[in-house]
């Protein structure tokens, strides 16, 4: 038996073998169907058999029409009896259908889905999933999920992705997949995962898994098949990352730093507070990397206020005390300037040895380099970097521009790394001369462990999971609608009367009809004339000049401004301990991570702090059709899950997991952060255990066989499924 010219009885079939076979060799796939499949992204047999069902219908779990229970989600297998479409108010449409299964008939209604009239032909067998409601004495389903299954047998029916444009029925897909797998059966499918790993993890073979995912005997068998195939996807990603990591460790020559100098010890001893246990642990992890001959590639995660700056300065000073330079790159000029001010204050009075100096030493030199640093000042900074007299450079992407040269860059710290592209991070690393500098990338946006192990999998990860003493808890409340918003302004007035200060955060500074959010300028005028009349209000947004921003922040820090109305320019770096209350307007326009960042601007002193998340009333669907009026149709939309999450927790890592659940993981192989994941079955949200198992297996395989010379099938799969560009994106951190 052959498939696409590949003779039966030979070696097991590999994924590259399947990739080399066109779907056109399958029975029933002529030119027209092949073109339809190509529009669906399927051109080879490999594409076909890895297009997995999106649902599996368990016929044993179906309900008959006669046994429907109102308001309970249920599955029905029915035949379409009649279909009718009619217009409604507002140029909308309503499609109604009558369906039955021999035990009774059911009325089904679809609002604003006119294409259902053509989809639901009389006599068609379909699966419906939804809640039945009582309407005019009978039962009906409104906008249920519909799967076209045809006259299918078997207890578990796979349902494949379908498209109105492509016009491929799920039973056609199932037939082609079944034929392809049948023609692979004699030779079976090659399994690249070592048998010892499969046995330890109790996983079925790939051949069994691929058949079971498409035609499972039971739902439990389907779940086991999914586990195995999802593991394969994650293992491939982890292999690329681990191989890259080990290759860097073998091939790149780093700076072997001096750890017994006294500069770092003096810095720690001079701090007005003791380091937390988490800071001590992370600094020790970083120092082990710095002492190694290969470059550090480490991700530092720390929640808002966890003390990342002290850890970063410790790393930079380790470079300086050994005669090298440090660089800290921030995403915005405001944050770079704040870092420069903060680091200079921390290092005030510190000196380093300098044989060219008459006194044998000189003050540690910290310089700022952004596009606003110009003229003679810029020239002096660039000369100091090239000569080595600038010890620590703090700046924006200006640090990686042409013409910026370091005498000996030893440690590079990248703050808020998610705002930089991989090319920018690599460019900073490339500023070194002879050796590759150690790189520490930091984020105050906690990343779920599974995502960190995958998206940043060639970096070692350190976590600051302990807040310094003195940080007060932040109580978060939501304010929905005008009545609760009035309470917000009363609360702000109360705090100001007690001698404290407040932030009011607006998402935009200009009117936007589309987003319907308040601008900072309008909010300032409204509050000043109304709810906060008599208080001293200030305004801060990104379009102000640097001098105006600095002057406003100085006034706020000095207590000359009671309430600072601002855009998200205050998201990072702003530290005013006397500010104890924040109101975020149109909070539902923000993501979880940004809300958590903003909230972190309060709770920085000894006073109890609060954050109000202000949103408008949740509106129901406007004027849903009079023809069919259901309880569901008239109900208001539910509470915003992001707002609920912020109210429930101040733990950034817990919120990161919620965020991943709500947003999805996006793609791994490109800069896109939304849309279909490159992982077809595996999910960073649902498969946390599998990610860790895949990581451990990848390390075991690569450490024994660095270039996969004895794992030929596995290496061929990586070459097939990862283009050079994708691998570079995945690993260039």
The pLDDT value given to residue 622: 33
The SS3 assignment for 192 reads coil
Measured CA to CA, the distance from residue 218 to residue 211 in angstroms comes to 12
Distance CA 438, CA 456 (A): 16
Residues 6+ apart with CB under 8 A from 495: 501, 502, 580, 581, 610
Q: What CATH code is assigned to 56-159?
A: 2.40.50.140
Q: Identify which of 77, 78, 96 has the alpha carbon closest to the alpha carbon of residue 87.
A: 96
- Please say if the pLDDT value at position 117 is more than 80: yes
Q: How many residues does the chain have?
A: 733
Q: Of residues 286 and 61, which shows the higher confidence score?
A: 286
Token pair in block for residue 263? 């500069």
3-state DSSP percent of the chain in helix, strand and coil, to 5:
40, 20, 40
Given the structure tokens 């601007």, which residue do they identify? 601
How crowded is the C-beta side of 102, counted as CA atoms within 13 Å? 3
pLDDT tens by residue, 448-490: 766 776 766 667 888 888 877 766 778 999 998 888 899 999 9
The mean pLDDT value of the chain amounts to: 82
The 10s digit of each residue's pLDDT in 417-428 is 554 555 655 666
Distance CA 660, CA 137 (A): 43
**pLDDT score of 251:** 81
Q: Rounded to whole angstroms, what are the CA distances from 440 to 164, 316, 370, 639? A: 49, 10, 20, 39
Q: How confident is the model at residue 561 (pLDDT cuts 50, 70, 90)?
A: very high
Judge contact between 714 and 198, C-beta under 8 A. no
Q: For residues 541-562, give the mean pLDDT.
A: 85
Q: Inform me whether the pLDDT recorded for 634 exceeds 50.
A: no
Does 694 have pLDDT greater than 70? Answer: yes
Rounded Cα gap, residues 353 and 231, in angstroms: 54
In this prediction, residue 198 carries a pLDDT of 94
347 C-beta neighbours (distance < 10 Å), count: 22
Cβ burial 225-254 (10 Å sphere, 16+ → b, else e): bbbbbbbbbbbbbbbbbbbbbbebeeeeeb
d(CA 76, CA 131): 11
Tens-digit pLDDT profile for residues 92-109? 889 999 999 989 999 999
* Orientation of helix 592-599 relative to helix 652-663, angle to 10°: 160
From-to residues of CATH 3.40.50.300 in the chain? 263-291+307-443, 474-620+636-649
**Which residue, chain included where needed, has tokens 């059966």?**
185
CB 77 within 8 A of CB 205: no
Cα(641)–Cα(666) distance, integer angstroms: 19
Percent of the chain with pLDDT over 70: 83
Q: Which two tokens stand for residue 328?
A: 């800290």
Query: Nearest CA to 637 among 646, 627, 625, 624?
Result: 624
CA–CA dist 367, 373 (Å, integer):
10
Grouping H, G, I as helix, E, B as strand and the rest as coil, residue 172 is helix
Checking if the pLDDT of 35 tops 80, the result is: yes
For 614-624, the pLDDT digits (tens) are: 987 654 333 33
- The pLDDT assigned to 278 comes to 93
Q: Which of 296-310, 400-414, 485-499 has the highest mean pLDDT?
A: 485-499
| Residue 512 reports pLDDT greater than 80 | no
The predicted structure's pLDDT at residue 248: 79
pLDDT for the residue numbered 698: 94
C-beta of residue 511 within 8 angstroms of C-beta of residue 519 = yes
Instruction: Provide the token pair at 91.
Output: 């140029």
| Averaged pLDDT, 675-683 | 68
Does the structure show a pLDDT above 50 at 191?
A: yes
| Residue 573 reports pLDDT greater than 70 | no
pLDDT of residue 197: 94
All CATH 2.40.50.140 domain ranges in the chain, comma separated? 56-159
pLDDT in the model for residue 676: 41
* Residues in CB range of 642: below 8 A, 6 or more apart: 588, 590, 591, 592, 595, 658, 659, 662
Which CATH architecture describes the domain 263-291+307-443? 3-Layer(aba) Sandwich (3.40)
**Of 344 and 424, more confident:** 344
Q: Which CATH class is domain 474-620+636-649?
A: alpha beta
How far is Cα 316 from Cα 307, in angstroms, rounded to an integer?
Answer: 15
Q: Quick check: helix, strand or coil at residue 637? A: coil
Give the whole-angstrom CA distance, residue 563 versus residue 537: 5
Long-range contacts from 58-62, C-beta under 8 angstroms, 24+ separation:
58/155, 58/156, 58/219, 59/154, 59/155, 59/156, 59/157, 60/155, 62/127
Tokens of 730: 């995945």
Cβ neighbors of 462 (< 8 A, separation 6 or more) are 281, 282, 285, 286, 298, 299, 300, 301
- Per-residue confidence (pLDDT) for residue 1, from 0 to 100: 40
Query: Is residue 286 classed as helix, strand or coil in its secondary structure?
Result: helix
List 147's β-bridge partners, or say none.
127
Q: Which pLDDT score is estimated for 44?
A: 93
Given a cut of 90, whether residue 297 has pLDDT beyond it is: no
| Tokens of residue 724, six digits | 């050079």
Q: Which two tokens stand for residue 584?
A: 């975020």
Lowest mean pLDDT among 31-40, 484-493, 539-548: 539-548
Q: How confident is the model at residue 626 (pLDDT cuts 50, 70, 90)?
A: very low
């Amino acid at each position: 038996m052959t498939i696409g010219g590949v003779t039966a009885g030979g070696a097991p079939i590999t994924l590259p073998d399947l990739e080399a076979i066109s779907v056109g060799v399958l029975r029933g796939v002529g030119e027209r169907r092949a073109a339809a499949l190509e529009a669906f992204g399927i051109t080879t047999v490999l594409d076909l058999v890895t297009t997995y069902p999106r649902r599996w219908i368990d016929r044993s779990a179906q309900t008959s029409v006669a046994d429907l229970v109102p308001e309970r989600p249920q599955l029905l297998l029915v035949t379409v009896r009649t279909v009718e479409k009619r217009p409604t108010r507002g140029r909308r449409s309503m499609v109604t259908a009558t369906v039955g299964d021999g035990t009774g008939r059911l009325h089904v209604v679809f609002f604003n889905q006119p294409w259902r009239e053509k989809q639901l032909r009389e006599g068609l067998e379909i699966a419906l999933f939804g809640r039945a409601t009582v309407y005019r004495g009978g039962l009906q389903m409104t906008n249920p999920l519909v799967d076209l299954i045809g006259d299918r047998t078997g207890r578990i029916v796979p349902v494949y992705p379908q498209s109105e444009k492509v016009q491929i029925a799920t039973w056609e897909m199932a037939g082609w997949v079944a034929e392809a797998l049948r023609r692979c059966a004699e030779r079976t499918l090659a399994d690249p995962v070592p048998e010892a790993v499969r046995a330890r993890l109790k996983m079925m073979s790939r051949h069994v898994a691929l058949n079971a995912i498409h035609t499972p005997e039971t739902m439990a068998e389907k779940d086991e098949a999914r586990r195995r195939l999802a593991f394969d996807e994650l293992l491939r990603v982890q292999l690329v990352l681990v191989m890259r990591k080990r290759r860097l460790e073998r091939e790149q020559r780093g700076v072997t730093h001096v750890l017994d100098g006294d500069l770092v010890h003096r810095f720690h001893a001079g701090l007005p507070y003791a380091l937390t246990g988490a800071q001590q642990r992370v600094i020790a992890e970083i120092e082990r990397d710095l002492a190694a001959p290969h470059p550090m590639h480490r991700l530092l995660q720390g929640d808002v206020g966890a003390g990342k700056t002290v850890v970063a300065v410790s790393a930079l000073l380790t470079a300086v005390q050994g005669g090298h330079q440090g660089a800290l790159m921030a995403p915005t000029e405001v944050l770079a300037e704040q870092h420069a001010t903060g680091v200079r204050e921390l290092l005030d009075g510190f000196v380093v040895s300098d044989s060219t100096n008459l006194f044998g030493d000189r003050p540690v030199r910290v310089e700022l380099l952004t596009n606003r640093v110009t003229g003679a000042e810029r020239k002096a900074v660039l000369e100091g970097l090239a000569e080595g007299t600038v010890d620590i450079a703090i700046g924006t992407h200006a640090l990686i521009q042409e013409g910026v040269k370091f005498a000996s860059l030893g440690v590079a710290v990248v703050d808020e790394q998610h705002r930089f592209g991989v090319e920018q991070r690599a460019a900073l690393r490339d500023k070194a001369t002879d050796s590759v500098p150690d790189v520490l990338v930091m984020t105050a946006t906690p990343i779920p462990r599974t995502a960190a192990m995958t998206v940043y999998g060639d970096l070692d990860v350190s976590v600051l999971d302990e807040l310094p003493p003195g940080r007060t808890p932040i109580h978060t409340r939501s304010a929905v609608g005008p009545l609760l918003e009035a309470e917000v302004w009363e609360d702000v007035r109360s705090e100001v009367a007690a001698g404290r200060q407040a932030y009011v955060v607006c998402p935009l500074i200009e009117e936007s009809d589309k987003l319907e959010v308040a601008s900072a300028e309008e909010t300032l005028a409204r509050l000043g004339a109304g709810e906060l009349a008599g208080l001293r209000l200030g305004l801060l947004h990104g379009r102000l000049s640097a001098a105006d921003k600095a002057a406003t922040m100085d006034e706020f820090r000095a207590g000359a401004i009671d309430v600072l109305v601002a855009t998200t320019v205050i998201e990072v770096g702003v530290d005013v301990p006397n500010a104890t209350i924040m109101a975020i307007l149109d909070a539902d326009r923000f993501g979880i991570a940004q809300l958590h960042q903003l909230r972190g601007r309060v709770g920085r002193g000894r006073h109890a702090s609060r954050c109000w998340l202000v949103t408008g009333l949740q509106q129901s669907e406007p004027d849903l059709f009079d023809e069919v009026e259901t309880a569901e149709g008239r109900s208001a939309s539910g509470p915003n899950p992001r707002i609920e999450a912020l109210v429930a927790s101040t733990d950034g890592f817990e919120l990161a997991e919620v965020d991943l659940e709500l947003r999805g993981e996006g793609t791994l192989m490109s800069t896109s952060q939304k849309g279909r994941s490159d992982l077809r079955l595996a999910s960073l949200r649902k498969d946390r255990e599998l990610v860790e198992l895949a990581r451990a297996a990848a390390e075991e395989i690569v450490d024994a066989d660095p270039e996969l010379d004895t794992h030929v099938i596995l290496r061929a799969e990586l070459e097939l499924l990862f283009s050079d560009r994708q691998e570079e994106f995945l690993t260039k951190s």
